[in-house]
Amino acid sequence: QMSGVQGAHLVNQKKMHVLIDLVGYTGGGERANEVFAAQPCELQTSYMGFCASTGAPYMQHMVVDKIVAPPEYQAHFSERLMIVPNSYFCNDHRQQKSWAAIGATPPATTAAAVAAARGPYTELPGRGLLLA
């Protein structure tokens, strides 16, 4: 496993412009926070993993909705808020159809399948980073 500093160096070396934190201060996010603190990208955004302001000077934006950031509390966020009109969750398990109902098979979740899906970024830590 690589350190947060090594991860930040790798993000910078790959010339990535956007880094989105999906973990925040929740379990396992320490290494991701080290990467973000090194500020390897010109745009760093928090989304989903920690539903409150990070208070971190290195986090420029946060994706929220009016439930996560009610209008009367928005001034307390240190990040510039990107407010989505409805829900900021990208899925809803209550509306998800079964794989069989749509005539499909679930995606493979073996370590090899996950590594293949990550493409050229297999050397980056998998938790807490969404790379675009």
> How many whole angstroms separate alpha carbon 33 and alpha carbon 10?
15
Predicted confidence at residue 31, as pLDDT, reads: 83
41 alpha carbon, distance to own chain's centre? 14
Least confident of 42-51, 55-64, 110-119: 110-119
Q: Grade residue 130 by pLDDT with cuts at 50, 70 and 90.
A: very low
**0.75 surpassed by pTM:** no
Q: What is the mean pLDDT of residues 105-131?
A: 60
Is pLDDT above 80 for 32? yes
Q: Please, are residues 105 and 84 in contact by the beta-carbon 8 Å criterion? A: no
Fill in the DSSP letter of residue 110: S
Q: Please, are residues 78 and 58 in contact by the beta-carbon 8 Å criterion? A: no
* Residues across the chain: 132
Q: How do residues 47-105 score in pLDDT, each as one tens digit?
A: 888 888 999 999 999 999 998 899 999 999 999 999 988 776 766 556 666 666 666 66
Report which of 131, 123, 96, 130 is spatially closest to residue 3, judged by C-alpha positions: 123
